[in-house]
Amino acid sequence: MAANDTELIMQTQRGNMDAFEQLVQRYDKRVLTIAAGYVNSADDAKDIYQEVFLRVYKGLPKFKYKSEFSTWLYRITTNVCLSHRTRGRRHSHTSLDQNVNDDDGQPHALKDTLAGDTFTDQQAHDAEISLRVEQALKTLSPRQRMVFTLKHYEGYKLREIAEMMKCGEGTVKKYLFEAIARLKTQLKDFAV
């Protein structure tokens, strides 16, 4: 039978690194998904992921069980995402001249992939929609974007988001309302 979070935390607090690895494996995909949804850059998401689990490892000796481990972990994830944004990290852009590997592992310029027959009109339209939504999301404040991402991409309830962000449910509703209003304004001229 698999150990529960509390057992793994207690074992980690006693120095058992295998227990910590089990905690990481239990939650790593969720943390990476939240980070990736927030920054829209694989490299930045990986940086956030590493920072989150570094903070978790450093904070576990002082973990007091006042909340569920998952709530504590997602609060750390939220804080790292928000502080990542305020640090003014660059958003990476991929050059069309950058070499990428195809399905067979052969390197070629990204622009060659885009010019090929495999890039259909539907893919172009989907890419344009994704780009417009990403640009619109970047106009949100960090907290608005976090609330929107957690609610609409991750499926969290408002109460859970409020707990993660250490604020009231009314504040979360306000951020969500403002985010949706701003996105509607940003995307109003874009017919999907």
Contacts 24+ apart (CB under 8 A), 117-122: none
Residues spanned by CATH 1.10.1740.10 within the chain? 1-90
The pLDDT of residue 146 is above 80: yes
pLDDT grade, residue 74 (50/70/90)? Answer: confident
The pLDDT of residue 103 is above 50: no
Residues spanned by CATH 1.10.10.10 within the chain? 120-192
Class for domain 120-192, per CATH? mainly alpha
> What mean pLDDT is predicted for residues 156-177?
90
What is the C-alpha end-to-end distance of the chain, expressed in Å?
48
* Residues sharing a CB contact under 8 Å with residue 72, sequence separation 6 or more, in sequence order: 63
CATH of domain 1-90: 1.10.1740.10
> What mean pLDDT is predicted for residues 8-19?
90
